[in-house]
Amino acid sequence: MIIKATNRTCFVFDLDDTLYHEIDFLKSAFTFIARDLEPDSHFHLFEEMLYIFKTGGNAFEYVINRFPDKNLRVDTLLDTYRSHIPQISLKEGVLKMLISIKEKSGRTGIITNGRKITQHNKIKALGLDKLIDEIIISEEFGVGKPDEAVYKYFQKNDSQGQFYYFGDNFKIDFLAPKKLHWCCIGVLDDGNIHMPDMTIFSQEYVPHLFIREFTEIEII
């Protein structure tokens, strides 16, 4: 897919499972927690937590029951999960695409629902704080997707420009930008933590195009 970028072109991205694999954040958090509880043999505990998650169980309750003497609580484990500094990386092709957009004077943005500390930690870990022009996190902005306000924010200086939106969540990502006549591109690969069932969504929720990797995008 070839996209021409100019100073009137804006590329806006979802974060989780779009620019990186969200499962990697989960693995990073589980590793952090396991290393804190069992410094000398954390990998085995990590594997157990991951297995429980993948089979539909509650990894935090498992940890609490395994270490009763540590007086662990779900809320404190969840806080650690959300606030740790993650070890995550961008999906293949993302960095090259962002650099190409900048070289062509295009604008970039992120719209992500979530807590500011968690999302900022992810963004910084991925190096996106140095690559993205404007970032909207729902907790900071006051509203999140699918509210049209978060998308209209990027139109404040040039509502007639060309807008592209990349996301993965059919429930919230594409409804508003399609109404605003943005070009919507679904990023669906086998590594996404929540794969959508496209058969249950009406057309207004479905993106115009699909890609599996950002290497499919060429910026000219």
At residue 137 the predicted structure's pLDDT band, cuts being 50, 70 and 90, is: very high
| 206 and 100 together in one domain | yes
Q: How many domains are contained in the chain?
A: 2
| 72 and 139 together in one domain | no
| 39 and 122 together in one domain | no
Amino acid 191: pLDDT: 72
DSSP state, 201?
Answer: S
The domain boundary residue, chosen from 83, 99, 133: 83
| 156 and 167 together in one domain | yes
C-alpha to C-alpha distance for 95 and 126, rounded to whole angstroms:
10
| 145 and 53 together in one domain | no
- φ and ψ at residue 32, rounded to 5 degrees: -60, -45
| 52 and 142 together in one domain | no
Q: Report, as an integer, the average pLDDT of 134-161.
A: 95
The domain boundary residue, chosen from 83, 104, 129: 83
Half-sphere CA count of 121, side-chain side, radius 13 A: 17
Tens digit of pLDDT for each residue in 80-104?
999 999 999 999 999 999 999 999 9
Q: For position 137, which CATH number holds?
A: 3.40.50.1000
Amino acid 201: pLDDT: 81
DSSP state, 115?
Answer: -
Q: Report, as an integer, the average pLDDT of 190-205.
A: 76
16, with CB counted inside 10 A (0-12, 13-18, 19+), is: buried
| 34 and 76 together in one domain | yes
User: pLDDT averaged over the chain?
Assistant: 95
Amino acid 195: pLDDT: 64
196, with CB counted inside 10 A (0-12, 13-18, 19+), is: middle
Tens digit of pLDDT for each residue in 38-96?
999 999 999 999 999 999 999 999 999 999 999 999 999 999 999 999 999 999 999 99
Strands of 4-72 (E only): list them.
Answer: 9-13
C-alpha to C-alpha distance for 151 and 171, rounded to whole angstroms:
15
Tens digit of pLDDT for each residue in 103-120?
999 999 999 999 999 999
C-alpha to C-alpha distance for 168 and 14, rounded to whole angstroms:
8
How many CB atoms neighbour CB 73 within 10 A?
A: 11
| 106 and 152 together in one domain | yes
C-alpha to C-alpha distance for 152 and 81, rounded to whole angstroms:
32
How many CB atoms neighbour CB 206 within 10 A?
A: 16
Q: Report, as an integer, the average pLDDT of 190-207.
A: 78
| 102 and 169 together in one domain | yes
| 109 and 162 together in one domain | yes
| 44 and 11 together in one domain | no
pTM: 0.94
Amino acid 11: pLDDT: 98
The domain boundary residue, chosen from 63, 83, 103: 83
Q: In terms of residue numbers, what domain contains 139?
A: 2-21+89-219
| 162 and 62 together in one domain | no
C-alpha to C-alpha distance for 91 and 201, rounded to whole angstroms:
26
Alpha helices in 70-156 (DSSP H): 74-83, 94-103, 116-125, 138-141, 148-152
Tokens 């006549």 belong to 181
Residue 196 reports pLDDT greater than 70: no
C-alpha to C-alpha distance for 82 and 28, rounded to whole angstroms:
11
Residue 194 reports pLDDT greater than 70: no
In this predicted model, which residue has the larger pLDDT, 159 or 103?
103
C-alpha to C-alpha distance for 205 and 202, rounded to whole angstroms:
6
Looking at the chain, the whole-number percentage of residues with pLDDT higher than 70 is: 97
Tokens 């910084």 belong to 124
